[in-house]
Amino acid sequence: MRKLLALTASVLALSTASFADVSFKLLLTNDIYEYEGYGGVAAVTAAARANSENVFLIHAGDTFSPSLLAGLDKGQHIVDLINMVKPEFFTLGNHEFDFGTEVAFKHFANMNTTHLTANMTDANGNPIPGIGARSIVDLGEIKLGFFGVTSEDAAVKSSVGDLKFTDALAAAEMQAAALKEEGADMIIAIAHTDITDDFALLRMGIADIILSGDDHNQMTFWDGNTALLESGEDGEVIMEISVNAKKDDRGRVRWNHAISIHNPADFEVPADVAAKIEELDGELDSKLGTVIGKTGVELNTTRPFIRQQETTFGNMLADAMREATGADVALTNGGGIRAKKVYAPGTEITSGDILAELPFGNKTIVIEQTGAQIVEALENGVSRHEDVNGRWPHISGMSMTVDLSAEPGSRVSNVMIGGAPVDAGKTYSLATNDFLGRGGDGYSTFKGAKQLLDANQAVLMASQLVDYIAAKGTVNPKVDGRVSMK
């Protein structure tokens, strides 16, 4: 669920002093998955650039994936749109790596922007060519210092290969100090980090402005020294911070600011971007409108629902994976189900619907796991229930009882497989997606497991679900007690 924090008006005037020597505007966007969102980004940005000098569009990460079209072109259309809106700075998010590092770095190389992520290295701890840590923009009397950091849990949440993500807050402190040493008068952090790290960064007092992504919040906060902003998701709003600054006779910077929350619907989309979006609409319509079946019951894939409980859609998907592979059990993560839709009984389901729900292009692999390892995996799956975390497990061929009042790691009991109590020492075959098979979302017991069906031989999860629905014609999955909550 998106949160709306500390918003009391569409424009918040947060200081009253007036210094007009240097003025600039920072526009923030983040977590744009659907290409339509770039229409709004382009509209607001074009208006700002037409009416003001020193306008900087900042992208705080997460955009190549997941989406319906990204499942088809691995995010190439997003690169095309970014090159049309031309952000000055882009900090990498975890979803930039959903299709692996080869695709990610190809996209980075083709993007017309400056990438800033200070805490990402190669396997040997070396900087990545083309990915900077910090940058200084000289506006005359005032020099702006920008740095970027990415939450270190990107290594768990996406397919980063052998890349390493070091502590984001430690990197931020180092970069802010380096920028000050290099002459920056104001420090601007672009942080693809969760809300806990956002406020930790704010309390550190090392940045004047923090522009964040990752949580999908619409948020502004001001503590008297530092401004913190985040712009929701999919371009639903565009945050703007307008700054006036000057130096006093001792060389100290004094600045005031106002924050505006722009509704993109109030602006006109530039013709070239509108034409591109129309072209993408037509591409999707032509490819994805085929009806494969219908549902006889409600299917709900909204974010808190699919990440916190047993669901009809989750059960159907896990059943399709287990049936297609013949595995003893199946487990997939709620974070891989992404369309955030409610399908009423009687709704026709298209291939496009399924690709929208499963946009990552994951394949179903089969691995060996002992009963003890399966219990450990289930414990991981429910360990961050309170955070609406994507690791929540949807299962088939097994059941469990979950006590959310217990400490993480001790919440799962009464695990049954095939109608019998789990045997800790017995080896079972388990179908899962290849992302979890690499240890993604904290499923460490899956990483390195013996593979009975590897990714090179495996079939797309989406294809298995399409076939499952088409074979039945009408699907009627039930919430049947696979997860008992207490």
pLDDT digits (tens, 9 = 90+) for 50-70: 999 999 999 999 999 888 788
For residues 14 and 194, the model is more confident at 194
For residues 56 and 248, the model is more confident at 56
Q: State the average pLDDT over residues 247-265.
A: 93
Per-residue burial over 350-366, b if 16 or more Cβ lie within 10 Å, else e, is bbbbbbbbbbbbbbbbb
**How many residues belong to the chain?**
486
Predicted pLDDT of residue 472: 97
pLDDT tens per residue, range 313-363:
999 999 999 999 999 999 999 999 999 999 999 999 998 999 999 999 899
Residues 6+ apart with CB under 8 A from 282: none
Predicted pLDDT of residue 5: 41
Does pLDDT of 163 surpass 50?
A: yes
Does pLDDT of 456 surpass 80?
A: no
Q: Are 28 and 211 in contact (CB under 8 A)?
A: yes
Question: Which residues make up the CATH 3.90.780.10 domain(s) of the chain?
Answer: 289-485
Does pLDDT of 17 surpass 80?
A: no
Query: Could you tell me what percent of the chain has a pLDDT over 70?
Result: 96
Categorize the per-residue pLDDT at 203 as very low, low, confident or very high, splitting at 50, 70 and 90: very high
Q: Are 106 and 99 in contact (CB under 8 A)?
A: no
For residues 142 and 10, the model is more confident at 142
Predicted pLDDT of residue 458: 85
């602006």: which residue's tokens?
267
- pTM of this structure: 0.76
Question: Which residues make up the CATH 3.60.21.10 domain(s) of the chain?
Answer: 4-281
Categorize the per-residue pLDDT at 425 as very low, low, confident or very high, splitting at 50, 70 and 90: very high
Does pLDDT of 9 surpass 90?
A: no
Q: State the average pLDDT over residues 227-252.
A: 94
Categorize the per-residue pLDDT at 284 as very low, low, confident or very high, splitting at 50, 70 and 90: confident
Does pLDDT of 8 surpass 80?
A: no
Predicted pLDDT of residue 287: 74
Q: What mean pLDDT value characterizes the chain? A: 93
In CATH terms, the fold of domain 289-485 is 5'-nucleotidase;  domain 2 (3.90.780)
Query: Could you tell me what percent of the chain has a pLDDT over 90?
Result: 85
Does pLDDT of 2 surpass 70?
A: no
Whole-Å CA distances, 408 to 31, 382, 412, 438 = 29, 8, 9, 22
Predicted pLDDT of residue 251: 83
Predicted pLDDT of residue 279: 96
In CATH terms, the fold of domain 4-281 is Purple Acid Phosphatase; chain A, domain 2 (3.60.21)
Predicted pLDDT of residue 1: 36
Does pLDDT of 248 surpass 90?
A: no
Crossing angle (nearest 10°) for helices 76-85 and 271-288 = 170
Predicted pLDDT of residue 68: 75
Does pLDDT of 12 surpass 50?
A: no
Crossing angle (nearest 10°) for helices 76-85 and 101-110 = 30
Predicted pLDDT of residue 155: 87
Does pLDDT of 177 surpass 50?
A: yes
Predicted pLDDT of residue 459: 82
Please write down the HEC assignment for all residues of the chain.
CCCEECCCCCEEECCCCCCCCEEEEEEEECCCCCCCHHHHHHHHHHHHHHHCCCEEEEECCCCCCCCCCHHHHCCHHHHHHHHHHCCCEECCCHHHHCCCHHHHHHHHHHCCCEEECCCEECCCCCCCCCCECEEEEECCCCEEEEEEEECCCHHHHCCCCCCEECCHHHHHHHHHHHHHHCCCCEEEEEEECCHHHHHHHHHHCCCCEEEEECCCCEEEEECCCCEEEEECCCCCCEEEEEEEEEECCCCCEEEEEEEEEECHHHCCCCHHHHHHHHHHHHHHHHHHCCEEEEECCCEECCHHHHCCCCCHHHHHHHHHHHHHHCCCEEEEEHHHCCCCCEECCCCEEEHHHHHHHCCCCCEEEEEEEEHHHHHHHHHHHHCCHHHCCCCCEEEECEEEEECCCCCCCCCEEEEEECCEECCCCCEEEEEEEHHHHCCHHHCCCCCCCCEEECCCCCEEHHHHHHHHHHHHCEECCCCCCCEEEC
